[in-house]
Homo-oligomer: A and B are copies of this chain.
């Protein structure tokens, strides 16, 4: 899976391991991330499998680097994966897991906690809305053949996700205290 994330980035532009690590620090497509300690070994594997090629780039004023490019065989692998069978997603969410045991705490603390989480996700939502305002100015967002279209699609998902989550936090916080008063 990490390999596909890396190939997806390299299909857009050639990058060094360092650049890839930078992009994958914040989740790519808002739903995948990785650290450099994972990326360098993965690049070696991809290179050994012939899915990426490497090119040494000598630099002055900063350390030399190795730039990776996707190969035609890498592109083929990526394309085949895109619309292939998708295994059951195993959703894991610590926040919801906590909610499952929230009946053990006093409703006030629980509501305060959920309000705090709501704030967090509203913040991320606002950030994403900002990206959207920017990205929508480009006419390319309407063209499914452009990377920007795909980035936009993942951004819209990110916005929907954060909004739904924030709304749920608010709903739960309300319900926790409403029961007290009602």
**Residues of B with C-beta under 8 A to A144:** 102-103, 107, 110, 175-176, 179-180
Q: Does B100 lie within 8 Å of A27, measured CB to CB?
A: no
Interface hit among A42-50, A55-63, A77-85, A126-134: A77-85
Copies in the complex: 2
Chain B residue, CB-CB nearest to A5: B97
Q: Does A99 lie within 8 Å of B147, measured CB to CB?
A: no
In the complex, A83→B150 CA distance in Å? 37
A102/B167 contact (C-beta < 8 A), A83-B109, A97-B5, A179-B143 known: no
Residues of A within 8 A of B (CB-CB), count: 72
Q: Does A38 contact B (CB under 8 A)?
A: no
**Residues of B with C-beta under 8 A to A30:** 91, 96
**Which of B11, B101, B157 interacts with A82 by CB under 8 Å?**
B101
* Chain A 129-182 interface residues, beta-carbon cutoff 8 Å to B: 142-147, 149-151, 153-154, 156-158, 160-161, 163-165, 167-168, 171-172, 175-176, 179-180, 182
Taking the closest CB of chain B, its distance from the CB of A131, in whole angstroms, is 14
* Chain A 79-132 interface residues, beta-carbon cutoff 8 Å to B: 79, 81-83, 86-87, 89-105, 107, 109-110, 112-113, 117
